[in-house]
């Protein structure tokens, strides 16, 4: 513990940090990011909680003779949306976690 750090003050700061983290995680559940692939043929929407919310497929992209291309396009759109949602979550949670550095805990 850092010298001069009041244990009660540190506990209160930790509790506030936990509350802030919980609030941000709840907010992330409500936010979404979208990504498209195949020139907009497929658009995937993912929540900040990394849940696939929707997949939109342009009817022109549906070719019964070549389903594999559509499948690959769906995978690409979902993966890109997941990456963007993870980045959004990391940025939001990272800004809250930055409060740990003020607690004087070694290694944080």
Give the residue carrying structure tokens 């342009």. Answer: 58
- Please give the Cα distance from 105 to 3 (Å, whole number): 11
Confidence at residue 108, expressed as pLDDT on a 0 to 100 scale: 47
Domains of the chain: 29-98 (3.30.1310.10)
Mapped onto helix, strand or coil, the DSSP state of residue 101 is: helix
Q: What percent of the chain has pLDDT over 90?
A: 51
* Torsion angles phi and psi, residue 64, rounded to 5: -60, -20
Give the residue carrying structure tokens 């690409």. Answer: 76
Structure tokens at 30: 């409500």
pLDDT in tens, 25-78: 888 888 999 999 999 999 999 999 899 999 999 999 999 999 999 999 999 999
Single pTM value for the model:
0.72
Q: H-type helices in the chain, by residue range? A: 7-30, 67-97
């Amino acid at each position: 513990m850092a010298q001069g750090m009041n244990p009660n003050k540190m506990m209160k700061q930790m509790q506030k940090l936990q509350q802030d983290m919980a609030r941000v995680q709840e907010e992330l559940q409500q936010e979404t990011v979208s990504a498209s692939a195949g020139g907009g043929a497929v658009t995937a929407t993912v929540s900040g909680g990394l849940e696939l919310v929707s997949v939109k497929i342009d009817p022109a992209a549906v070719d019964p003779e070549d389903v594999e291309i559509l499948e690959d396009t769906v995978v690409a759109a979902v993966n890109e949306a997941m990456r963007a949602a993870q980045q959004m979550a990391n940025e939001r949670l990272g800004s809250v976690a930055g409060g740990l550095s003020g607690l004087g805990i070694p290694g944080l």
